[in-house]
Amino acid sequence: MATGTWEDFTDKYGFSDGEGVEQRDFEARARLVEILNDHEAMKAAGLHALEYDRPGVHNPCLVVVVKGQAKASKELLKLWLAGEIKEAPLPDEVEREIPSFVTEA
């Protein structure tokens, strides 16, 4: 697989509907989440990026961004899956840097 894009990591149809996902994509996702969560703009906005292993027949390698930095990732993922918190957009500063973050990851 060529280098993934932000859309691959955020769309259930990414990585050719999941058929093109490889182990290295999960490793890149982990690094991407780390980069995002260390970014000052994410911290200032109270946002947290999460790794989500989507079950089913589509893309299993997703990144979800939610409000709630003060809680642990597992708790935030649980709240998001239960519909108690919603996805949040990236801050503009982070949005502009996403292509380089994905390449770095």
Per the confidence metrics, is the pTM higher than 0.85? yes
In a domain, 1, yes or no: no
Residue whose C-alpha is closest to residue 52's, from 92, 82, 9, 7: 9
Give the end-to-end CA distance of the chain in Å, rounded to a whole number: 14
Segment 91-104 shows an average pLDDT of: 93
**How many other CB atoms sit within 10 Å of the CB of residue 27?**
12
Average pLDDT, the chain: 92
Domain that holds residue 63: 6-104
Segment 23-36 shows an average pLDDT of: 96
In a domain, 84, yes or no: yes
Number of domains in the chain: 1
What is the pLDDT at residue 2? 55
pLDDT exceeds 70 at position 88: yes
